[in-house]
Amino acid sequence: MKILRNVLFISTILFSGGCITSIHIANSIDASIERKVQPDSGHYVVTLCYENQKPIEKVLRFERYYDAQCSVRGNYWAWRQVGKQTDYQSDTSIEIKDKKLGVIQFPIPNAKTLKTEKWPTQPLRTLLVNRISYFYVTSKGGKHIYKAESIHPSLRELYKYDENISLTYSFEIKFKAD
């Protein structure tokens, strides 16, 4: 019985190791094949109008690339911002400097989100104000009201902390064909 158990244990290790090794070899060979980047058929224009300031526009151009990582999960085609190595390096926000509140960061979606999911443009679910997360509560009379995450009382003055803020802005994303 003990011999049979040892034989089963050793064969399981050899068999599973062989499968994993063969997957790694196949993915590594696949990764060594160079593939051309496929440009998108257009670009996205992100427009932010905040309070009475001049509108800010950010143009986002994307491309499909072959993400070859030689990993067990495999290699695949993915989206990324032009000029970046991966989608995780994409631009993540538009920053505004407000005299009263400080620096406000309005999040913008990455390539994968824009290409595969619906991105809500009004109102944004979360914002960063002086590096503190604010979550959308409601809208009243054109103003969007946000509530801050919990923060230790000793840090509230350091970060210009307001528990609730009210902002007037519009945020829009449009695809334009080239």
Find the domain containing 168 and state its range.
45-59+91-177
Cβ burial of 113 (10 Å; 0-12, 13-18, 19+) is middle
Q: How many domains does the chain have?
A: 1
Residue 13 in any domain: the answer is: no
Nearest residue to 107 (alpha-carbon basis) of 121, 87, 118:
121
pLDDT (0 to 100) of residue 10: 52
pLDDT band at residue 45 under the 50/70/90 scheme: very high
pLDDT band at residue 18 under the 50/70/90 scheme: very low
- Per DSSP, the three-state class of 84 is coil
Residue 65 in any domain: the answer is: no
- Per DSSP, the three-state class of 75 is coil
Q: Are 68 and 27 in contact (CB under 8 A)?
A: yes
Q: Are 46 and 108 in contact (CB under 8 A)?
A: yes
Give the span between the Cα atoms of 134 and 54, in whole angstroms: 23
| pLDDT one-digit tens code per residue, 68-88 | 776 666 788 889 999 988 878
pLDDT band at residue 41 under the 50/70/90 scheme: very high
Residue position matching structure tokens 């068999």:
15
Average pLDDT over residues 3-15: 53
pLDDT (0 to 100) of residue 157: 66
For the entire predicted model, the pTM comes to 0.74
| pLDDT one-digit tens code per residue, 128-169 | 998 889 999 999 988 999 998 877 766 666 666 678 888 989
Choose from 65-69, 98-102, 120-124 the range with maximum mean pLDDT: 98-102
Residue 73 in any domain: the answer is: no
Residue 25 in any domain: the answer is: no
Residue 51 in any domain: the answer is: yes
Average pLDDT of the chain, as a whole number: 81
